Amino acid sequence: MSLVNEAGYLYVYSKKLKKLNKEITRLSKKSEKHKKNHDETLDESKREKYRGKHANTTSELKTLINKHNKIVKKLTHHQSAYAH
């Protein structure tokens, strides 16, 4: 590929990576909030609610981290092609 195409790929993947990083930080804060609420609540029904919310956000985080790793892999591939 040409240098311009590789630069374009780098730009697009870096934008996707920044967007995913924002989403991961947002979800991790939500997950910590649910965990904190679960630990502080004495009512068992509310504890169950926060446990479920925490489980949902952590599963979303896992999928986002997998996407993040795939994008990083593609980004490093195109970065090395750009360098050559």
Distant-in-sequence, close-in-space partners of 28: CB < 8 Å, separation ≥ 6? 61
Query: How confident is the model over 38-81, as pLDDT tens digits?
Result: 999 999 999 999 999 999 999 999 999 999 999 999 999 988 88
| Whether pLDDT at 1 is above 70 | no
Q: Is the pTM of this model over 0.75?
A: yes
Q: What is the pLDDT of residue 4?
A: 87
